[in-house]
Structure 1
Amino acid sequence: MAERVHPADSPPQSGQFSGNFSSGEFPRKPAPPPATYVIQVPKDQIYRVPPPENAHRLQLLSRKKASRSSSCRRCFCYFLAAIVILVVLAVISGGVLYLVFRPEHPNYSVEGFSVSGINLTSTSPISPKFDVTVRSRNGNGRIGIYYEKGSAVDVFYGDVDLCNGVLPVFYQPANNVTVVRTALSGTRIQLTKGVRKGMRDEVSKKTVPFKLRIKAPVRIKVGSVKTWTLTVKINCDVTVDKLTAPSRIVSRTCSHKVKLW
Structure 2
Amino acid sequence: MEENQSTQNQQHHLPPDKLQMNKPAPYGTSSSKRAFCTFLTIFLLLIGVTLLVLWLVYRPHKPHFTVVGVAVYGLNTTSPPLLSATLQFNVRIKNPNRRVSVYYDRFSAFVSYKNQAITPQVMLPPLFLEKHSQVSLSPVLGGTAVPVSVEVSNGLMVDEAYGVVGLKLVFLGRLRWKAGAIKTAHYGFYGKCDVLIGLKKGFVGQVPLLGNPPCNIDI
What interval of TM-score do these two structures reach, taking the shorter chain for normalisation? 0.5 to 0.7
Q: Please list the CA deviations of residues 57-95 of structure 1 after superposition, one character each: whole Å capped at 9, or x if unmatched.
A: 3455688xxxxxx99999888766654432211112334
Provide the residue aligned with 1:152 in structure 2.
108
Q: Give the 3 Å change call, closer, same or farther, for CA 88–61 of structure 1 in structure 2.
A: same
Q: Distance in 1 between matches of 2:83 and 2:182?
A: 43
Provide the residue aligned with 2:5 in structure 1.
none
Tell me if 1:255 matches 2:215: yes
Q: CA deviation at 1:211?
A: 1.5
Give the 5 Å matches for 1:189-228: 189-222=146-179, 224-228=180-184
Q: Secondary structure at the match of 2:135?
A: strand
- Runs of 5+ unmatched residues, structure 1: 1-49, 64-69
Provide the residue aligned with 2:27 in structure 1.
none
Q: Distance in 1 between matches of 2:164 and 2:100?
A: 37
Contact 1:113 1:133 in 2 (8 A): yes
Tell me if 1:135 matches 2:96: no
Question: Which structure ranks higher in relative contact order (CA pairs < 8 Å, sequence separation ≥ 6)?
Answer: 2
The equivalent position to 2:51 in structure 1, one of 77, 87, 90, is 90
Provide the residue aligned with 1:245 in structure 2.
204
Q: Distance in 1 between matches of 2:190 and 2:167?
A: 17
Q: Give the 3 Å change call, closer, same or farther, for CA 233–123 of structure 1 in structure 2.
A: closer
Tell me if 1:57 matches 2:17: yes
Provide the residue aligned with 2:4 in structure 1.
none
Q: Please list the CA deviations of residues 90-146 of structure 1 after superposition, one character each: whole Å capped at 9, or x if unmatched.
A: 112334x35xxx976543210222344432222242343332221123455x44634
Over aligned residue pairs, what C-alpha RMSD do you find?
Answer: 4.0
TM-score, normalised via structure 2 length = 0.68
TM-score, normalised via structure 1 length = 0.59
Amino acid in the other structure paired with 2:213: T
The equivalent position to 2:126 in structure 1, one of 151, 158, 169, is 169
Q: Give the 3 Å change call, closer, same or farther, for CA 149–138 of structure 1 in structure 2.
A: closer
Q: Distance in 1 between matches of 2:70 and 2:60?
A: 30
Structure with the largest fraction of strand: 2
Larger Rg: 1
The equivalent position to 2:137 in structure 1, one of 168, 180, 183, is 180
Amino acid in the other structure paired with 1:120: T
Q: CA deviation at 1:215?
A: 3.0
